Amino acid sequence: MAAENQDTIEDSIICYICHRVYDDPRILPCSHTYCRKCLEETALANKDQFECPLHEGFTVSKNTIESLPINRIIRHLINIYGSRQSPIECSNCHSAVSEYRCDKCENETFCSKCYQTVHKPPVMQKHQQMSANETALKVNFCTSHRDEKVKYWCLTCSQLLCTDCILLEHKAHQYNLIPKMVQELELKITNNLNNIQMLVDEKLNQAIECINEYGNIADSYRKRIQDTMSCLRQAIDEHEQDLLNQILIVENEQKNQMEEYKLRWKYEPENVQMHKAMLDMLLLTKNYAILLNGSQEFEDYVTRTNDVLKQTSIPIASYYELIELDQLEAIKKYIFHCGRYVKTNNCLLVRSALKQHSTQEHSSDSTVPDIHVALVELTSNEYPNVMYLPKQQRQKRLCRK
């Protein structure tokens, strides 16, 4: 037996709860095995119910323990392994530890001294010596013909047969030599176990690939979100600067226009003042003749200026149109609406990724578990067909990720 296999056997006959060789090993429906006593004690300490220590979420209750099936393979292993491990006393002197056995003296082991003594007679010297923990080929005798060794296996009766059996009761049955049957059985079981190993490995690889693929999918969604948002941010920043520049241009135009208009009337108050001062001076100095003679000049100024005042109105400035700015508010709603989580049984993305790795038939039959895929409607022109959620609920929805 290879050392590696020996370790595996030692591991598989030790209970996970008590760390000792199993005592009455029982299998749980989750396929883990524990001593019956360990299960009962753990149940008792946990109000009659507990979780399988090797299987999160699987509950064991006290009243089901008694009906749990016995793990027969482990029980056989313990029997075989136990008899090989414990030191056996010499069958002859019953005091020294056995070191040898032979192929003929069945069920007997000897210390080195007794082996020599027992096998001294020439007829005994033909016995083949082997180490005590080496297993001798077990020879069974026929139950019907006590002196005959069994050599065959009857497939019809599922029974060991000797040569006499073959000649008598089992003549018409289907039978074969024991070594041949053992060889076939070994081949069949080995093939089946290898096949299971392969399928289990494949499931595990599939799961690992899925986990990696989920990471890749999430990364690509993250990138889409970041790209789209930063693109929006850049467009907003650029257009904001653009708008501010245009406002500045219009503002300057309007102000310049008004400056020109102001310039037209800038010196008029001086003219008015001059005419007022002249009138005051003529009245004060009582130069009525000059006043009356020059009255036409005053009249002309008033008429001329009134005409100009009537004709020139304040220039109409062009204003900036910003109705669309209010409509930009709607973009906020679009942004908050985008992104929702869709549960799907049919993860095409992951499956197609897996198919590239495996071309074997059975892999396409196996069920990939349900997954949640985030579908982000960032580039959709249509208004997303989901109800608007208040901010708190939206955050909750995001947390499901």
d(CA 222, CA 60): 42
How far, in whole angstroms, is CA 392 from its chain's centroid? 26
Q: Which residue has the tokens 């004709």?
A: 311
Q: How far is the CB of 368 from Zn ion (least distance, A)?
A: 24
Closer by beta carbon to Zn ion, 112 or else 216: 112
Which of 62, 173, 340, 351 is close enough to bind Zn ion by CB under 5 A? 173
Residue 349 touching Zn ion (CB under 5 A):
no
Q: How far is the CB of 65 from Zn ion (least distance, A)?
A: 13
Q: Confirm if 150 and 141 have CB atoms less than 8 A apart.
A: yes
Q: Confirm if 90 and 96 have CB atoms less than 8 A apart.
A: yes
Alpha helices (H) in 60-177, listed in sequence order: 62-65, 72-85, 112-118, 163-167
Closer by beta carbon to Zn ion, 23 or else 219: 23
Which of 104, 151, 351, 397 is close enough to bind Zn ion by CB under 5 A? 104
Which of 60, 105, 210, 347 is close enough to bind Zn ion by CB under 5 A? 105
Please report the sign of the dihedral spanned by the C-alpha atoms of residue 277, residue 283, residue 285, residue 289: positive
Closer by beta carbon to Zn ion, 33 or else 363: 33
User: Which structure tokens are listed for 266?
Assistant: 């800038």
Site string for Zn ion, 109-128 (x = CB under 5 A): --x--x------------x-
Which of 13, 65, 78, 154 is close enough to bind Zn ion by CB under 5 A? 154
Residue 140 touching Zn ion (CB under 5 A):
no
Beta bridge partners of 33: 27
Instruction: Collapse the DSSP code of 84 into the 3-class scheme (helix H, G, I; strand E, B; otherwise coil) and give the result.
Output: helix
Angle at 350 between CA 345 and CA 353, to 5 degrees: 150
Q: How far is the CB of 20 from Zn ion (least distance, A)?
A: 6
Instruction: Give Rg (Cα) of the chain.
Output: 52
Closer by beta carbon to Zn ion, 150 or else 378: 150
Q: How far is the CB of 13 from Zn ion (least distance, A)?
A: 11
Site string for Zn ion, 16-45 (x = CB under 5 A): -xx-----------x-x--x--x-------
Q: How far is the CB of 48 from Zn ion (least distance, A)?
A: 18
Residue 13 touching Zn ion (CB under 5 A):
no
**Helices (H), strands (E): how many in the chain?**
15, 11
Residue 170 touching Zn ion (CB under 5 A):
yes
Angle at 236 between CA 232 and CA 242, to 5 degrees: 145
Residue 354 touching Zn ion (CB under 5 A):
no
CA nearest to 134, candidates 102, 111, 91: 102
Which of 92, 109, 206, 363 is close enough to bind Zn ion by CB under 5 A? 92
Q: How far is the CB of 196 from Zn ion (least distance, A)?
A: 18
CA nearest to 14, candidates 28, 2, 25: 25
How far, in whole angstroms, is CA 108 from its chain's centroid? 58
Q: Interface residues for Zn ion in 52-71 (CB under 5 A)?
A: 52, 54-55
Residue type, 88: I
Which of 70, 93, 235, 248 is close enough to bind Zn ion by CB under 5 A? 93
Residue 90 touching Zn ion (CB under 5 A):
yes
**Cα separation values, 244 from 211, 251, 326, Å:** 49, 10, 16
Which residues make up the interface to Zn ion (CB under 5 A)? 15, 17-18, 30, 32, 35, 38, 52, 54-55, 90, 92-93, 96, 102, 104-105, 111, 114, 127, 142, 144-145, 154, 156-157, 162, 164-165, 170, 173
